[in-house]
Structure 1
């Protein structure tokens, strides 16, 4: 298979590139399905092994910290050895994770099973392949379609996990996830070219390209942050999603205490949220990126997020949340995709993996600090605190973007 398909414009290379992109979408769907297969059964396994609520919190915190630490390393690994090697590493780590989980008959083994998750980064791995295979003008739409695959995995995973657990026991979803990850590893090695990254351009001679072959070099992260637009855009990416991230982390508690929902009803709401995310990322964002610049969409998403904050502060029922969810998902999905797109365009092609790895650290960061900060806000200031915080933070960011040098030309150049 041609290893420089991104630079070749022949019909055969275009078909090859299209095939690899479709395989990447399939691989992400497999990865997410395997992960969400456990969501319906994992709490029962934790309870069966005698782990209390505090212990479960520690388990989730360890998972978040490992993901947070592993994301930048995973990105550097992709730049050093290629996106295929990175995806393979993700699936192998996932296989070991599910294998250890399937033999976890004690609490120490349960904690030990979390260690391989440091390199479980299926979504960033897929983003790296898509970034290497697409031109800057195609990138936003192609990255958006990954959300469709992610949503399909969110829907299929719990469904099949529940069926497997009911018919074959609580450990059966873990065996299925193990087989799915091994299948993903085989497909990655067979269908993804070993080197698809385009040659580095002369993006910013002042900062240059990487001079280190080490995947553990912290100076490389500092170097990337010195590129024009990287630091402000990354700051916007992190700060804008924190209020909503805190809310979503606390949603299981909020659904019980504020919305008076049972477990089943809360699950339905989260499924509804996942379907909205799938449609917005897979369809709407792609259409928008064909007609508007990244700067315009960034401004819109922050503006919508700020306005949604007021609605969140006033909501009192789950019906209100279901209405607010549409603009909320639009803001989150659009901002996430557009900032990833801008940041990968702001660094040399040789560093896009590292940049996506840094971007992937945002969600683990929220999962790590979210329960503490979100719990403090909810306990001391109530549900409305999340909405007011979302409004103020994104309003400040909106004013900042208007005064910055980000181009906001409405019509997209073709």
Structure 2
């Protein structure tokens, strides 16, 4: 694989800006969690409407992430990252000043569309400026920023909502706008003009979104995209049901749940920032991914045996640890197989993650009514199925390499 002229430069300021941008977006997504049920109530919305508001965001990401990612291969990463930040800010302002239910849906649609421009472009940016050996470290930093944003977002939202329910959204809009302005003046472009022209020449024929997905599934990264879906599906099973689960089993309220998510999220964030790059460099992508899948499955199972606050905290930390290792190491693995199509492939990566984000909570809520442990057992089964499938896929790749 050829290295462009930026690859040997230290990440430094660009990585900090990328991480900050993703942190802002994840804070904006996370602060919605504790407020949204109360916010939509004043518009006369019920639980089903709330579910659609959550789902429409992920659906927009599914449809638009590959489009933005592909466009970033043609015009560069910086324009897409900056546009995404300003678009996300607009969505937050609409939500803050909404006077009718349709404005809430409009806000979530815009947030999904423009939020989808940032993540694949940022991941592709890291791929542009790192060597394969350093890519795991760069992806780990981005993952840590995203994890920290999700962790502190609900806390910020709950605190700012004491002023008014709309104030957290206003705060997120201002923060995203400032991040966009800083990115315009400080963030350098990572993709060379030669690389953009080459991609533009290769992609003169515009293809349907679903044709792109079909081709991607048939490509070397196809299985890994399915793995992204399975990972996201299992993770959102946990996220969707954890509050209800701890309420029914232990009588926990928002304060206890928030504290657990904060502590376990910090564990995951530290792991992503400090350990993932070193683990990938020492053991390789394949071993790190399979080990993380096993750890995540184990975490799902042992959570059902927790019987006190300390054991809930411990078992949840095990699960978060597995997922914190899995996400950036899987992104690194995908980027190494993406070649010159970094933006497009990372966009598809985000789409498959969004599909999991839609499907996981729907299934979790449905089976929870039958048996409260069942969502966790399903999550563990999905992770084990992913582990077995990955082992088979790796074995076949190794056999193909030997034959070649």
TM-score, length-normalised on structure 2?
0.86
**Kindly tell me: are residues 346 and 306 of structure 1, through their superposed partners in 2, closer, same or farther at Cα, counting changes over 3 Å?**
same
SS of 1:299 mapped into structure 2: helix
2:388 maps to 1:399? yes
Residue 212 of structure 1: aligned partner: 204
**Kindly tell me: are residues 86 and 213 of structure 1, through their superposed partners in 2, closer, same or farther at Cα, counting changes over 3 Å?**
farther
Distance 2:153 2:238 in 1: 24
Q: How does 1:245-284 map to 2 (within 5 A)?
A: 245-284=236-275
2:362 maps to 1:372? yes
**Kindly tell me: are residues 292 and 369 of structure 1, through their superposed partners in 2, closer, same or farther at Cα, counting changes over 3 Å?**
same
Residue 401 of structure 2: aligned partner: none
Distance 2:192 2:250 in 1: 48
Distance 1:348 1:270 in 2: 36
Residue 402 of structure 2: aligned partner: none
SS of 2:216 mapped into structure 1: helix
Report the CA distance between 1:90 and its aligned residue. 1.1
Q: How does 1:74-85 map to 2 (within 5 A)?
A: 74-85=68-79
SS of 1:245 mapped into structure 2: helix
Residues 96-139 of structure 1: CA deviation (Å, up to 9, x unaligned): 20121122022122222222122213433322221221111111
Structure 1 unpaired stretches of 5+: 201-208, 409-414
Contact 1:252 1:266 (C-alpha < 8 Å) held by counterparts: yes
2:177 maps to 1:185? no
Q: How does 1:314-325 map to 2 (within 5 A)?
A: 314-325=305-316
Distance 2:159 2:373 in 1: 38
Structure 2 unpaired stretches of 5+: 196-200, 399-404
Report the CA distance between 1:145 and its aligned residue. 1.1
Determine which of 168, 176, 191 is the counterpart of 1:173.
168
Distance 1:236 1:94 in 2: 28
Distance 2:30 2:281 in 1: 32
Distance 1:405 1:176 in 2: 45
Residue 66 of structure 1: aligned partner: 60
Which deviates more, 384-393 or 68-77? 384-393
SS of 1:361 mapped into structure 2: helix
Which deviates more, 385-394 or 81-90? 385-394
Task: Pick the structure with more helix per residue.
Answer: 2
Residue 50 of structure 2: aligned partner: 56
Equivalenced residues, count: 389
Q: How does 1:87-126 map to 2 (within 5 A)?
A: 87-117=81-111, 118-121=113-116, 122-126=118-122
Which deviates more, 145-154 or 105-114? 145-154
Contact 1:90 1:125 (C-alpha < 8 Å) held by counterparts: no
TM-score, length-normalised on structure 1?
0.84
Which deviates more, 362-371 or 136-145? 362-371
